[in-house]
A and B are shown apart, each in its own frame.
Chain A
């Protein structure tokens, strides 16, 4: 087992666990969505590239690449659909300054 693959898998696992801690720790739905974003972009890429280096021949690499591309194309669509459904049903984010909050409310009656 080569060292770069081990390193990438380690970074990927760390990022994944960070995302898991974030989804438990953050205060409201919208901030949790950013934590999930970490696990779906860089963590997935790191783990899948680490797996590619384990077995760098044949169709395995191509299939891992297909999984990676699919995840990268799917995750923004799913999170956008989720966020727009939440705003559409008036789930308000906890914002830092209160004036922004009023502005958001008035733009989404």
Chain B
């Protein structure tokens, strides 16, 4: 069952990557990367149980924090000109 849940999370991560590649706006890509990051946290915790090594949970905690800071860091530059390019706003 743990392995099935791991595979489900991997499938969801692939879906997030597809959305990140398709776009169409920059915000969709940031959203997809954020979702990919939170699912990575789940994947690491599940893998820790699959492999019988609960130490992985520490890595998952650190990864959750890094993911949050990276998203906020990217959005800090949301005044930059690349966020305002008009061809990205149109579908």
Contacts and interface: CB of A to CB of B under 8 A. Distances in A.
A89 B79 CA distance: 8
Interface in B61-91: 61, 64-65, 68, 71-72, 75, 78, 83-84, 89, 91
Name B's interface SS. helix
Interface residues of A, number: 49
B2 interface: yes
Chain B, interface size category, equals 35 or more
Contacts of B32: 23
Given A44-B38, A81-B75, A67 B1 contact: no
Contact of B35 (A39, A50, A77): A39
Most buried by A among B2, B4, B8, B78: B8
Nearest to A37: B35
Interface of A: 1, 5-6, 9-10, 12-14, 16-17, 19-21, 23-24, 28-29, 32-33, 36, 39-40, 44, 47-48, 50-51, 54-55, 60, 63-64, 66-67, 70-71, 74-75, 77-79, 81-82, 85-86, 88-91
Interface of B: 1-2, 4-5, 8-9, 11-12, 15-16, 18-19, 25, 27-28, 30-32, 34-35, 38-39, 41-42, 45-46, 49, 54, 57-58, 60-61, 64-65, 68, 71-72, 75, 78, 83-84, 89, 91
